Amino acid sequence: MEVALSAIASDLINRLTSFLMKKYMESTSIDDKMKRLKELLLRVHIVVEEADRRCITNPMMLMQLKMLAESMYRGYYMLDTIKYKSPKDEEVRKLCTMSVSLKRSRTIFGTPGSPADDNELEIVLNNLEAAISNINEFVVLLVGCERVCRRPYDAYLYTDNFMFGRHAEKQQIINILLQNPCHQGGPLVLPIIGGCRVGKKTLVSHVCGDERIRSYFRSILYINGDNMWGMEHTKFKRERTLIVGEFFMDIDEDDWVKFYCTVSQMTDRGSKVIIISRIGKLARFGTVKTVRLNSLSQEEYSYLFKMLAFGSIDEKDHPKMAMVANDLAVVLGGSLITANVVADLLRRNHDFQLWNSVLQRFKEMVKSNLSKYGEHPKDIIEKEHPIDITRFGSSYRTRLHLMPPRVERDDSPNRKKPSLLFRDLIAGCAAIPDGDFELVTWESQIPPHTKYVQSAVAFVNGKNGCTTSTRKRRSNA
């Protein structure tokens, strides 16, 4: 009886507390809520940043860290949405709702002080309150986790030379790769499956650059799925090896068995294999749980884009540019390559007119592709189809089509085509060649100086043998 009464009393107290909290939130002004939001974000950010410097091996802690980070980015997004609400937000909102993929991936808030904003703010505050209420045990356990040393070259030399987020996924992969070899002797196989250009290779690159991984494996071998059938002719050293393979198509069962047996026989005990692919079926070859990568949420993407665009300056000192950056983060549709290109251009020139001009060019380009093809340019590129970038040209009479990006390195053959930088095209300061040319979308500033290059074509009124029928699928991207 006493236990039952205690349970009833506890339930009543919880209900009363929730009721009073709800009434408090309803009676609190939006300014007070914004102040509370900033306080909560500061507390959560401290914990997330500290966790990023720790070696976390507990999978449940990694899951909680991921939830904390998601709540934090959502809070920052809400904060910026209300603080830097642009007069053109309605236009951006309409543009986003024209694309199905954009509607799926983000929430567009109402006008400042509207019921939609107020309700969303309460939800964000409640989520952060709940996250913080369960944070004490996490912090205690975090103190016991070993600190990870970072090399200044990797973390701070260049703004673009870091991996945003993905801490939980990176630590999960490292934990799997450092597992003791199984008694069966066969190499562990870890599939990493994700959509188009979500950062699979970047994540694996950072994992392979980790000192713990380099110390554990004597060698790291990178292969292309297209040449896996020649593995038996590869001369391996009999040592613990990490084999990283990128696969662009499904693999026959017999071919995989042959490849796996070759790796097992020619490498030492404890060797492991990473499968990188967009093809979900390849997960069947994994011997451990697949790591799946999704695109960044709109909240994460917006945070990343503004961090790249503003660099060392404080966005609070430039509210007009912050408004533009908010709108650009929505219009770009979540493309990581485009975010880096545009942010690099904006970071070089903190001029509001330039920032606003870039926003207008992208809005017009997105509208054009939505009107012609019914999809956002990012979705079109992911299907390996060309997009219309005529709006980036100095004259709309000259039509421009752009193919999906391909990766080139320093030793790639010279194609002897005219080329220009994508950022110069976006800024409107590039003379566009006639016919076919190469657009250097992005180039890493550190070895091996990987480039993202895209084929482009300029034509006037269907001349130069180019029409919109060029929108065909490319087999290699």
Verify that 416 and 354 share a domain, yes or no.
yes
Q: Quick one: how far is CA 305 from the chain centroid?
A: 10
Q: What distance in Å separates the CA atoms of residue 48 and residue 44, rounded to the nearest whole number? A: 6
Q: Which pLDDT value is given to residue 352?
A: 93
Verify that 35 and 139 share a domain, yes or no.
yes
Verify that 133 and 174 share a domain, yes or no.
no
Averages of pLDDT over each 10 residues, the chain, 477 residues:
53 58 59 90 92 88 91 92 68 54 43 58 89 87 82 43 74 91 78 89 88 91 74 68 90 88 86 93 93 90 92 88 92 89 91 93 92 90 89 73 79 68 84 83 66 82 44 38
Verify that 141 and 190 share a domain, yes or no.
no
Q: Which pLDDT value is given to residue 103?
A: 42
Verify that 345 and 415 share a domain, yes or no.
yes
| Number of domains the chain contains | 3
Establish if 47 belongs to a structural domain: yes
Q: What is the domain range of residue 178?
A: 167-293
Establish if 8 belongs to a structural domain: no
Establish if 80 belongs to a structural domain: yes
Residue after which a domain boundary falls, among 259, 293, 327? 293
Verify that 146 and 38 share a domain, yes or no.
yes
* DSSP codes joined into one string, 145-197: SEEPP--HHHHTS-TTSS--S-HHHHHHHHHHHTSPPPTT-PPEEEEEEE-TT
Establish if 204 belongs to a structural domain: yes
124 exposure class (CB count in 10 Å sphere: 0-12, 13-18, 19+): buried
Verify that 390 and 438 share a domain, yes or no.
yes
Predicted TM-score (pTM) of this structure: 0.78
Q: Which pLDDT value is given to residue 430?
A: 75
Q: Which pLDDT value is given to residue 415?
A: 59
The tokens of 372 are what?
């012609």
Q: Which pLDDT value is given to residue 366?
A: 92
Residue after which a domain boundary falls, among 277, 293, 309? 293
Establish if 298 belongs to a structural domain: no
Verify that 31 and 138 share a domain, yes or no.
yes
Verify that 343 and 284 share a domain, yes or no.
no
Q: Are 452 and 337 in contact (CB under 8 A)?
A: yes
Q: Which pLDDT value is given to residue 466?
A: 43
Q: Which pLDDT value is given to residue 47?
A: 92
Establish if 187 belongs to a structural domain: yes
Verify that 171 and 138 share a domain, yes or no.
no
Establish if 318 belongs to a structural domain: no
User: What CATH number has the domain bearing residue 286?
Assistant: 3.40.50.300
Establish if 55 belongs to a structural domain: yes
Torsion sign over Cα 68, 73, 78, 82: positive
Q: Quick one: how far is CA 397 from the chain centroid?
A: 35
Verify that 50 and 123 share a domain, yes or no.
yes
Q: Which pLDDT value is given to residue 92?
A: 59
Q: Which pLDDT value is given to residue 40?
A: 93
Verify that 377 and 274 share a domain, yes or no.
no
